[in-house]
Every structure is written in structure tokens, then in C-alpha cells.
């Protein structure tokens, strides 16, 4: 079934072009978290703080779901964010747009929390999981029966398993 509401999130930072995030932008969140997983504190300086916050949020959410503790943490960060919801019409469809106003050079943690909580509450993070390959562990969105983030990780893990089996024989 098609979704009746086409939602998008618009983030306006003072003095900057608005940034639009829709369902496809979930990749932005996932890439950010995976970036921290790969590079840790050695990633590009301008991005480390944001990807670290995204990683921590995703890690907690993937492990334990939306616990009260996570929600409290998000609320604390989101307190300074002013946002509005606009409802409009496009091609006979109702469109809702959430607009957040952030300060220029605001804490990257606030930006991460805002995007994360919007996307999670819009259901865009459903199916969030981590790659079962022990040397990958990347975040991805996949169906319940999918274990690996990519074909490469899948075949690598199968080969590893086979080798282990053989060595035990
Ligand atoms: Zn993987």
C-alpha cells in the first residue's frame, strides 16, 4: 500500500540554505554512523562530531530500541530546537513538512539528535540492523532475513564458515 502522507524534514540553519531530508536521506544518517565506525576519531575534522553522535544514537537504538533513557537523552538535546509542521497539498496529495530552526554553527549533536528522532518517529529507521560479519558491523536497513550489509560481506562470511567447518573435520 502506498503511504498516504509524503513526509519530509527541512532543517534551516541561520543564514544558510535550508536542507531537505526525505525518506531517501536515511542513507545520510547511516553513512554518518558507518563513517565513525570506520574512521573513529580520525575522520575528517568537520564531520567527526556529527558522525560520532549519529553512531552513538544508532548503536543504542539498534541494540535496545527506543528506551526511556534514549528518549530522555534526545529530549534534552532537542529542547533548544524550534520546529513547525507545515501541511500542504501537491498533486492532490497531502504533504507534511517538518521544519526545524537551528542556530548557525549549532552543536552537531543537536543536528544529529533532531534528524535521528524525526526519522525514527516517521518510521524511516524500521529494519535498522548491523552487519553480522564480525569485521564489518556496518549499519544498514534490510529485511528481517538479511544478515549482511552487502553481497561481499555475505560471501566472505560464508567462506569463513566453510573454512572453519573444514578445519574441524
Ligand atoms: Zn558488512
DSSP class per residue in 72-101? HHHHHHHTT-EEEEEEEEETTEEEEEEEEE
> Do 101 and 164 share a structural domain?
no
Residue 95 forms part of a structural domain:
yes
CB atoms within 5 A of ion ligand 1 belong to 131, 133, 136, 138, 149, 153
Residues of the domain holding 150: 131-169
> Do 142 and 117 share a structural domain?
no
> Do 35 and 13 share a structural domain?
yes
pLDDT bucket at 3, cuts 50 / 70 / 90? very low
3-state helix, strand, coil in the chain (%, to 5): 50, 20, 30
Tens-place pLDDT, residues 107-137? 889 989 999 998 998 889 999 999 999 889 9
The residue with cell 560464508 is 158
> Do 122 and 142 share a structural domain?
no
Tally of structural domains, the chain: 2
Greatest mean pLDDT among 48-57, 72-81, 99-108, 159-168 lies in 48-57
Distance CA 73, CA 69 (A): 6
> Do 148 and 110 share a structural domain?
no
> Do 77 and 18 share a structural domain?
yes
Distance 146 CA to ligand 1 centre (A): 11
Distance 27 CA to ligand 1 centre (A): 15
Q: What percent of the chain has pLDDT over 90?
A: 45
Residue 1 forms part of a structural domain:
no
Distance 53 CA to ligand 1 centre (A): 21
Distance 34 CA to ligand 1 centre (A): 10
- pLDDT surpassing 70 at residue 72: yes
- pLDDT surpassing 80 at residue 15: no
pLDDT bucket at 6, cuts 50 / 70 / 90? low
Amino acid at each position: 500500500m502506498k503511504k498516504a502522507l509524503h513526509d519530509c524534514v527541512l532543517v534551516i540553519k541561520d543564514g544558510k540554505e535550508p536542507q531537505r531530508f526525505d525518506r531517501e536521506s536515511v542513507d545520510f544518517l547511516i553513512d554518518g554512523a558507518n563513517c565513525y565506525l570506520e574512521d573513529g576519531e580520525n575522520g575528517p575534522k568537520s564531520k567527526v562530531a556529527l558522525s560520532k553522535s549519529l553512531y552513538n544514537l544508532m548503536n543504542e537504538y539498534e541494540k535496545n530500541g527506543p528506551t526511556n533513557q534514549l528518549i530522555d537523552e534526545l529530549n534534552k538535546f532537542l529542547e533548544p530546537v524550534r520546529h513547525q509542521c507545515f501541511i500542504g497539498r501537491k498533486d492532490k496529495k497531502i504533504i507534511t513538512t517538518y521544519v526545524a530552526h537551528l542556530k548557525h554553527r549549532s552543536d552537531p549533536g543537536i543536528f544529529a539528535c533532531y534528524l535521528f528522532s524525526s526519522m525514527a518517529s516517521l518510521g524511516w529507521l524500521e529494519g535498522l540492523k548491523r552487519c553480522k560479519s564480525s569485521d564489518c558491523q556496518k549499519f544498514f536497513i534490510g529485511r528481517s532475513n538479511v544478515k549482511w550489509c552487502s553481497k561481499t560481506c555475505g560471501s566472505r562470511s560464508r567462506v569463513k564458515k566453510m573454512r572453519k567447518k573444514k578445519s574441524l573435520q
